[in-house]
Structure 1
């Protein structure tokens, strides 16, 4: 009777120990699963927070190409501004289908003039884009076509030997055109006056859209009676325009 009871107690103790070990293993496994789950959840929340912050910063990144025009040597100049509330890092420039690297930081509320070094040609049109590191894009359409309105102003009559002034007004009537190195030309037929000075100025470096440049010549009337027929025209970057305007004195 005593021997049987001792064996039963040993069996019961082994069962208890096995149960405790099993419970410990289960608790360890479940706790590890919970830790893994919460770590993944924390990583997800961090990634989501970073993504939302990225999207918010990109939405606040308002980079604009204020204007684009050729420099006196024919290279593309951009006036850039950041109207947003976050710093923008510009990394790419596209001119038509050509991609160029950029490395420009624009602080909120700042602006700058950027010489791209990209050569332009008169008569061509360009689609210009700047791209930020966050993927924001702004574009600008630039046309280097020549379309101008000329107004040649000369006196109706002058006396022998009188000095008089002829004025040529050149107005750029394009909305996206930026002709550069605009040089005026004044020719005449009939009796010949003497050129005293001009043109003043000899040229203008840039004629923005809807703007006007004024050029003047001072001449001296000849000592013979007759009519002077003036014709005004201009060149853009060395290219002659076929736009003219006549006047007579």
Structure 2
């Protein structure tokens, strides 16, 4: 079960301390007790006591002007989270929780230079035209998962990356250059998912969405692949919804600040 939200009763002091840490960490400037009191709607005395405790624990630092910034102890938690959280393992766990649509293959890939490299896969049925295997790689510009990752870069960076070089087409449906790529990225940003039809393997449609890390940067991409004739109309919408949900939930597990 996803641990995004819990129905059990929360401990008030811990909840208030977490709220203060959230506010301090997201603020563009350091805040005073009075300002934190206004932000949280808590009495100044309560905020003062919580902040004092968190200063003693290294969770906050009190500056000379009596404002607060995030303390060094938080970094230990961040490093521990990174050490203990493996995106491939979390992907596998989520695939056990989410029903993968019939006739599709679910995969997880990460960017490496100009390619997407597959690190995990889950086949819904045997004999799928797209047999995703760890270690496989496809050019970023053709595979749907690569487009999902590229979509998070501004167009000028995509142009710079493709300047003077565009990989040889994999099929007769592979896009022909950076302008076609930018059109697809724009369309995908509007739709919320990224797809391509037969650009990597004839007769296979891939639908993808990016996975974000704890600083909301692209870490990987999840993708569902199926025979193109089975990914039309309502089926495409259903697959897109599963891809988006899988990517969002995996992003949350990797520490991204994403609302589901």
Normalising by structure 2, we get a TM-score of 0.26
Normalising by structure 1, we get a TM-score of 0.27
Structure number with greater Rg is 1
Give the helix-richer structure, 1 or 2. Answer: 2
Give the strand-richer structure, 1 or 2. Answer: 1
